Amino acid sequence: MIQIDDAGSGSLIGGTCIGIHYDKTKIVDFDFIPVELFNQENFKNKTYQKHVIKIVLNFFLKYSIPADEPIEVCQGYIFDALRDYFTQNKFIWKNTKIQGLLQNKVEKAFSDYTISLGLPKNYVLFTKYPFHFHKLLRWVYADYDVRKHLCKTGWKSWMKYGNLPVETDYGFMDTPGYYCLKCGKKINFKSPVKILKFFSNRQNILYLHKDCLSKTFPTS
């Protein structure tokens, strides 16, 4: 049995992880659809779905997986073109909800990948919905010119919220326990801060170190 699953197709940040599990040889492997394939033109043309076929066929070639093995495919839209390919080429496959080993491995791989892009670990590891759109949007706006290139810009939600007017102000941190959304380091109580305000689905207020120069979060 072969299982194929994804992680990250619902995340604004980064591409998407595609994973495979071949139970006969205990193989678990994964690869990534680049975030560039989710820009406006590529998203409209569903280029990312065609890239899934390339990734999966590379898995089959790499591990000499026979084409007559039964395959379970995750039900997500990311696999629409792959399902068509399997049908046209007479693979034995079915849709299913992937759980267990592969699901855990692929989700872990995607989490590690987003952390390597700079996403703070506490977003990914310690929150119930780490890839919630508006939560990620706050992180993007904290260093917009750098982080907008990490986004799936072909999404309708990005077209709606991805170029909002931002009000900039300055003040002092009057509440302890905040961390700068630009560098990830703690903001000292009563220290000077840069304040960014924008409205998406609600009012957002971001606090940064006043003269923060860091462009990414620490990844360790």
* CATH 3.30.420 location in the chain: 2-117
Question: 59-118: per-residue pLDDT in tens?
Answer: 999 999 998 999 999 999 999 999 999 999 999 999 999 999 999 999 999 999 999 999
Q: Are the C-beta atoms of 200 and 184 separated by less than 8 Å? A: no
The closest alpha carbon to 84, from 56, 43, 44, belongs to: 56
For 42-63, the DSSP string reads: HHHTTHHHHHHHHHHHHHHHHT
Determine the pLDDT at residue 127. 73
> In whole angstroms, how far apart are CA 8 and each of 33, 114, 150?
10, 9, 13
Question: 11-63: per-residue pLDDT in tens?
Answer: 999 999 999 999 999 999 999 999 999 999 999 999 999 999 999 999 999 99
Q: How many CA atoms lie within 13 A of 43 on its CB side?
A: 17
Which residues make Cβ contacts (< 8 Å) with residue 44, sequence separation at least 6? 154
Pairwise pLDDT comparison (214 vs 93), residue with the higher score: 93
Spatial distance between the Cα atoms of 61 and 25, rounded to a whole number of angstroms: 14
Confidence of residue 130 (pLDDT cuts 50, 70, 90): confident
Fold exhibited by the domain 2-117: Nucleotidyltransferase; domain 5 (3.30.420)
Determine the pLDDT at residue 214. 67
C-alpha distance across the termini of the chain, in Å? 37
Confidence of residue 216 (pLDDT cuts 50, 70, 90): low
Pairwise pLDDT comparison (220 vs 131), residue with the higher score: 131
Neighbours of 153 (CB within 10 A): 20
Average pLDDT value over all residues in the chain: 93
Determine the pLDDT at residue 129. 75
